[in-house]
Amino acid sequence: MSMLDFEKLSQVIPISASARKVLEKPEMEMSLRLDLSFGDKLFCTDVFVVYYNTVRGPAKGGIRFSPNLTLEQIRLIAEMTTYKTALVGIPFGGGMSGIRIDPREHARFELNEILKEYVHILEKELDPRVYIPAPDYGTGSKDMMVIYGETHIPESVTGKPVSIGGIHGREEATGRGVAVSTRLGVKTVMNKTSDNIRIAIQGFGNVGSNAALFLSESGAKIVAVSDTSGGIFNSDGFDIKELIEHKKEKKYLQEYNAELVSGEELFELDVDVLVLAALEDAITEDNAENIKAKIIVEGANYPITEAADKILVESGKVVMPDILTNSGGVIASYIEWHQGKSGSLSEKKETYSTIDKLMSKTFNNVLKFANLSKLNYRDAALALAVQRVVRAMEDRGLI
């Protein structure tokens, strides 16, 4: 089922029956088995790939490692990426892939073998004109390096280490984008700068830790953070660099010397902003009512269920939606893809400046459209993005 509510959308933008037909379903989805032998041990798992819509360019989208992975999750994120790239105006379509594994349970050499096999079974797909993966939940630059090591095409994968064609600033790009949109949201909704704003963050991986770093650098107090072990709290705000060092030692947050809170308690803290940077469905109708933060920022994809979103909106909370806030990574991916094709080099400050400019421009476009159409940020962002995808279909003579 599509994430779009076509009836609701058609009250805001023109959406023909033909456009609806194209957008209702993904263009392509694959479910494959990956078999490998590790010595005398047979290892089998599932690989999923979805291209939701490629009318605006090749399918761009992360590769996820998760033990609970489903085709449906991959489909939903591929669909979201279609609208995310359209909203920020990058010429990519929306795709996503994943391997059902828990990376913590595999040695590095095993992960490398699994990724090499992923490339082999998807040889025709991993072409920069078709599908370009990037890091997502459970994966990082080392994994992208292995993919590149097999394809030998620099622009076939983004999020690579800088030493082999990655770009300065890609690692922290999504977190930077989340920080930029959080600051804009705080300014617009609360008429405050981020000085002394109190923030709680669920998830302290790539997105959460980098968002925390940029936000704390701009004066915000990160008073609580969590990972799979649970959360920690410090009313004076954490030293984020120190926490990042702690996590680099592969330690859980609850092993850090601080007051412990549970994952659920973190949602209920009296903070200005709650950033969700872990996984889908973190906020449901069971816990939405307990949230005290005025602004909830979706760093992860789909961290709030539809029912929970309704509760939050009705109680006067402002939700900054995923397609608006977590596109810093895809912007940096575009810069890296372009660099891979052209051979040009870009500096970190250029990556940051492109993210900052595009995120701010997108935020202002959404804000303007939201005010004009009397919509919340989520509905306004989605309507603008769908409009662009429909326009591309018209321009290509598809509809």
Would you say 174 or 346 has its CB closer to ligand NAD? 174
> Which 169-188 residues touch ligand NAD, going by CB under 6 A?
174
Residues 57-86 within binding reach of ligand NAD (CB under 6 A): none
- If binding means CB under 6 A, how many residues of this protein chain bind ligand NAD? 24
Cβ contacts of 84 within 8 Å, gap of 6 or more: 94, 322, 323, 326, 327, 330, 385
The residue number whose beta carbon is nearest to ligand NAD equals: 205
By C-beta, is 117 or 171 nearer to ligand NAD?
A: 171
Q: Would you say 188 or 228 has its CB closer to ligand NAD?
A: 228
State which of positions 227-266 bind ligand NAD (CB under 6 A).
227-228, 263
Closest approach of Cβ 9 to ligand NAD, in Å? 23
Residue 43: how many CB atoms within 10 A of its CB?
A: 15
Question: Which residue, 93 or 329, is less far from ligand NAD as judged by CB?
Answer: 329
Cα 278 to Cα 138: distance, rounded to the nearest angstrom? 10
Contact positions with ligand NAD (CB under 6 A) in 204-223: 204-208
Q: Return the number of the residue (161 or 263) whose C-beta is nearest ligand NAD.
A: 263
161 binds ligand NAD (CB under 6 A): no
Single out the segment in contact with ligand NAD by CB under 6 A; choices: 4-12, 225-233, 338-346, 363-371.
225-233
> Among 315, 297, 308, 327, which residue's Cα sits nearest to residue 202?
297
Residues from 298 through 357 that contact ligand NAD (CB under 6 A): 299-301, 326, 329
List the x/- string, 129-158, binding to ligand NAD by CB under 6 A.
------xxxx--------------------
**Do residues 48 and 64 make contact, with C-beta atoms less than 8 angstroms apart?**
no
Nearer to ligand NAD, 211 or 390 (CB): 211
Contacting residue, 54, 85, 202, 325, with ligand NAD by CB under 6 A: 202
Taking the complex as a whole, how short is the minimal distance between the CB of residue 332 and ligand NAD, in angstroms? 8
Q: Which stretch binds ligand NAD (CB under 6 A): 24-32, 115-123, 213-221, 295-303?
A: 295-303
**Distance of closest approach, residue 236 Cβ to ligand NAD, in angstroms:** 22
**Site track 346-365 with ligand NAD (rule: CB under 6 A), x = hit:** --------------------
For 296, the token pair is 């909830």
Q: What are the distances in angstroms from CA 218 to CA 183, 211, 276, 373, 374?
A: 9, 11, 19, 32, 31
Nearer to ligand NAD, 273 or 300 (CB): 300
* CB of 173 or CB of 375, closer to ligand NAD: 173
| Residue with smaller CB distance to ligand NAD, 29 or 322 | 322
The interface region with ligand NAD, picked from 38-46, 68-76, 193-201, 274-282 by CB under 6 A, is 274-282
Q: Which residues bind ligand NAD (CB under 6 A)?
A: 135-138, 174, 202-208, 226-228, 263, 277-279, 299-301, 326, 329
